[in-house]
Amino acid sequence: MKMKLPLFLGLLTVTFFQIASAHPLSNPALKSPESASSYRQYCSHCHSGSAPSAPRVGDTKDWSVRLLSGFDYLYHSAIYGIPNTAMLAKGGHPELSDDQIKDLVGYMLISSKVSSVTIEKALKYDGFLIADREFIHLDTNKNAFLEKKELQSENAFLKLFDEFDKNQDTRLSPAEFIDLRSSLELLRQTQNLTDEEIMNQVNATLANVKGMPPSGIRVNSKNGTLSIAGVVGSNTIIDQIWRSIRWIPGIKVIDNRLMTSEMLAFD
């Protein structure tokens, strides 16, 4: 069936209008004095101030890299916080609604002048509807698949890669990755080690983590629940610790209470 040109152009205009209206940063209120005031009240202490790991408003490169994981990922970090960092849920302001937090994120993105190309890539990645945050973090190519080269620092995942690559396309889908990780978690939890054996393995592993403080890290295991607490120098060290111990056999649950000196300053 042939469509008359005026009707086709009309539908095309509506489609473009709908896309523009759905643009997360298209709301003119995000550029208003009220938005700037809210930012100063709730966010500027860290994002224009003294939190070393917080992305600075105005740093286009930093915000662009973070946005490539999608708007949903960035909103989730702001609303629910990031474990073991100074980024508390809603920045420590539980009185704010989720929509208010999203608007504050939007203000910071606009103020940091992220490009339309970056925004389009973020919207495309959101379109994959990936919920697993570890998968998103590992997916550096942002194509909704994990290749072996993206897992070079994850030996446990690499060892089982081929087994869980069900369709043998040399990459893992989100579902395949979740199945792989679940298998590793089950294997870890079904190993029977005493609490003393678990703590000995954890302490021996931590001794090889670069940047570990010489003392002050407390490790305890009770019925397979491992708790680790103390203060380290950076979020990078916390991440290294987590990755080094997460697959130690016998651990049922990991209660990670590590903090950085930065976190203490904002506690």
Q: Phi first, then psi: what are they for 168, rounded to 5°?
A: 55, 45
CB 75 within 8 A of CB 97: no
Confidence bin at 182 (pLDDT 50/70/90) = very high
| DSSP classification of residue 144 | S
The Cα-based distances of 218 to 137, 221, 228 in angstroms read 28, 10, 6
| Domain end among 189, 212, 232 | 189
Condensed to tens digits (0 to 9), the pLDDT of residues 123-181 reads 999 999 999 999 999 999 999 999 999 999 899 999 999 999 999 999 999 999 999 99
- 29 plus 120 within the same structural domain: yes
- 26 plus 95 within the same structural domain: yes
| Domain end among 76, 91, 126 | 126
- 92 plus 30 within the same structural domain: yes
How many Å apart are CA 136 and CA 28, to the nearest integer? 30
Domain containing 166: what range?
138-189
Q: How many domains does the chain have?
A: 3
pTM of the predicted model, to two decimals?
Answer: 0.85
Query: Is residue 167 packed enough to be buried (19+ CB in 10 Å), middle (13-18) or exposed (0-12)?
Result: exposed
Query: Is the residue at 14 inside a domain?
Result: no
Query: Is the residue at 44 inside a domain?
Result: yes
Condensed to tens digits (0 to 9), the pLDDT of residues 245-255 reads 999 999 999 99
How many Å apart are CA 221 and CA 219, to the nearest integer? 7
- 98 plus 63 within the same structural domain: yes
- 45 plus 118 within the same structural domain: yes
Look-up: residue for tokens 């095309």? Answer: 12
CB 107 within 8 A of CB 47: no
Condensed to tens digits (0 to 9), the pLDDT of residues 69-107 reads 999 999 999 999 988 777 889 989 999 999 999 999 999
